[in-house]
Structure 1
């Protein structure tokens, strides 16, 4: 069963390394025959940061069109993968802001894989540890495996090809897990719905 998936890119800074990592994740998910789209905080609309979350507009007719369109993609998707750097031992504001723009109900009861990276030797693992409770609060279920990418510079081409065998193997594990969890949850939803 093909799943609809979104890959969230968590960086908006100039010279970001995550763009090539995200391209790789998108390509690998497509090779696994999933329907995939990249959500880039610099491309969706506004400036990618929370000013007024969609679900807090008193008049829903005033919600910007980019929010309506992006929320529809989130709600229609079966699974997600976040690609995040580590900022100050935590999650980058571009990631939390883009996700916080939309109501938790749009994410609820769906799995999310985590891919983290950094220019240093820890590979963004501290960001991944913050991501789990954050994603859970939005209603997502994070999958067990995390792909940790230390010293990311030079490990991905501009086309999104991974040049490191260990990282490639770990990315394949994340792709397999998010596909398995996505299919398993969708099967349960079709049989018994979601918990209420």
Structure 2
């Protein structure tokens, strides 16, 4: 399988966030499979992930910050995305939606997306995943069926991005197999026939 360009979106900005180590693990798994991977972290973007003026609503794109233009280009050139999201109040965290909403749906359109969700409780953020599907769909992304759910996330990852839980490792392998399949299939279809108008 050819290497894919995959973006991993981290959906948390909280101090002491567990998602940073979860995202590192996702990145490591993908890199071990020889994919070109980049982490999109709201804390390293120019606006800390907050929407002030989405790119598509700016009157003059020449006045848009360079980080917005660069990130938008990365989204448009990606073959697939993976969302790493916690569950906040039984829903998606505002950092994730705010960060992704800064870029036009046309940039995301016709790309597969996988969901990795986590929480400190026993449900592993599955309610956030259920909110993520319609949100991602409205951006034009195609969410793959497999979800990697991480309940009681504390202690399951170390600071180097290694997973210490065999069940999570097995589920992550299944999710990566699926996003690779969808990423390759859709990319090949786009190359052959373009996208619907």
Regarding TM over 0.5, the answer is: yes
1:19 maps to: 20
Partner residue in 2 for 1:161:
162
- 1:76-121 superposed Cα distances (whole Å, 9 cap, x missing partner): 1110000000011100010001100000111000000000000001
Cα distance in 2 between the residues matched to 1:71 and 1:184: 23
Question: CA separation in 2, counterparts of 1:136 and 1:60?
Answer: 25
Unaligned runs of 5+ residues in structure 2 are: none
TM-score, normalised to structure 2's length? 0.98
CA shift digits 1:112-164 (9 cap, x unpaired)? 00000000011000000000000000000000000000000000010010000
Name the CA distance, whole Å, in 2 between partners of 1:144 and 1:8.
18
User: Matches of 2:114 and 2:11 in 1, distance apart?
Assistant: 13
Tell me by how many angstroms 1:25 deviates. Answer: 0.2
Counterpart CA distance in 2 for 1:190 and 1:68 is: 24
User: What is the CA distance between 1:33 and its match in structure 2?
Assistant: 1.3
What RMSD in Å do the two structures reach over aligned CA positions? 0.7
For the residue of structure 2 that corresponds to 1:135, the secondary structure is helix
Aligned length: 196
Alignment partners' CA distance in 2, 1:28 and 1:47: 26
Alignment of 1:1-196 (within 5 A): 1-196=2-197
* Distance across 1 between alignment mates of 2:45 and 2:76: 16
User: Secondary structure of 2:72's partner?
Assistant: helix
d(CA) in 2 for partners of 1:90, 1:3: 30
1:130, 1:47 → 2: CA distance?
22
Instruction: Show structure 1 runs of 4+ deviating over 2 A.
Output: none
Which runs of no fewer than 5 residues in structure 1 stay unpaired?
A: none
Q: Which piece of structure 1 moves more, 118-127 or 44-53?
A: 44-53
- Once the two structures are TM-superposed, the CA of residue 168 in structure 1 deviates from its matched residue by 0.5
Query: Equivalent residue of 1:156, what SS?
Result: coil
| 113-122 vs 62-71, greater mean Cα deviation | 62-71
Q: What secondary structure, in the 3-state scheme, does the structure 1 residue paired with 2:8 have? A: strand
SS of 2:92's equivalent in the other structure is coil
How far off is 1:62 after superposition? 1.5
Query: 3-state DSSP class of the match of 1:16?
Result: coil
How far did residue 170 of structure 1 move?
Answer: 0.4
Cα distance in 2, alignment partners of residues 32 and 44 from structure 1: 27
